[in-house]
Structure 1
Amino acid sequence: MTPAIDLLKKLKLTFHVHQYEHDSNETQFGKEAVEKLDPNLHVVAEQVFKTLVVTLNDNIKELAVCVVPVERHLDLKKAAKALHCKKIALADPHLAQKVTGYLVGGISPIGQKKQLPTLIDDSAKQFATMFVSGGRRGLEIEISPHTLTAVLKAEFVEISV
């Protein structure tokens, strides 16, 4: 289906795929996922995460990924500290697409062209499962936060406000 799903299948990990009809006029992709995921799943907004690509120290060749709840914002200072750099900024959307191989609104932290250093907001640890993009708009992967961290060699850090 997508590189993210292919990788998880290859690794024989436990995960679930959820699809919904993406509205092509929608630009709030994370909020759309929260609203359109099956109500029988009893998903709370804090359980759905967005994938943000950031540049380190104004260098477009130094990139990282931050995974934060869709209802929250990335704390740039906390993320910079965790990434051991002076400052970070959100990457240009075209750069994010080029580097990850995914379209904005469907960028998955899993199965990117090149695995970037990844931080996952520590709020994810409170849930048995979390939802991240499956690699395209309208496709979500439900996965254990600890499984996701292991796959990405990521770390849990408080990076959202």
Structure 2
Amino acid sequence: MLSYRAMTHKDLPQLAAIEQEAGPHPWNQKHYRDSIDSGYLCTVAECEGKIVAQGVVMLAANEASLLILTVARAEQGKGYGVAILNQLIEDSSQRADTLFLEVRESNQKAFNLYLKAGFSEIGRRKNYYPAGKGHKAEDAIVMALDLSITD
């Protein structure tokens, strides 16, 4: 059964390991430490005592920004991404009217997840994401969800 809790400093090594496997531009322990220390909404999803997904939301001025959402590579395809996203939306809706995010143009899987959750594309940031050697920078799709109408 999936459960949620606040991220702690003790989780940092495991979170960094999950990130290293997840993609080409992973967050490191410092990113998570800074988020926890800044009072961001930092949530982990656990199944049988093991972290399977995580997300970080920055809250400011009645707005929320989803900074990162990651599902452990071995746990992908089991619905954990949808589950933690829904939890983050619920938690954010108690403190903000709108939840924003940016997603890589090439990350169709994440883009579709956000669309199904009710997010709408509101713009693009040209060449926002850095690229690996020999590749050009990638656009970010900016998305938003009106939290005042979520239940």
Q: Do both proteins adopt the same fold according to a TM-score greater than 0.5, normalized to the shorter chain?
A: no
Q: TM-score, normalised by structure 2?
A: 0.29
Structure 1 or 2: more strand by fraction: 2
Higher relative contact order (CA 8 A, sep 6+): 1
Q: TM-score, normalised by structure 1?
A: 0.28
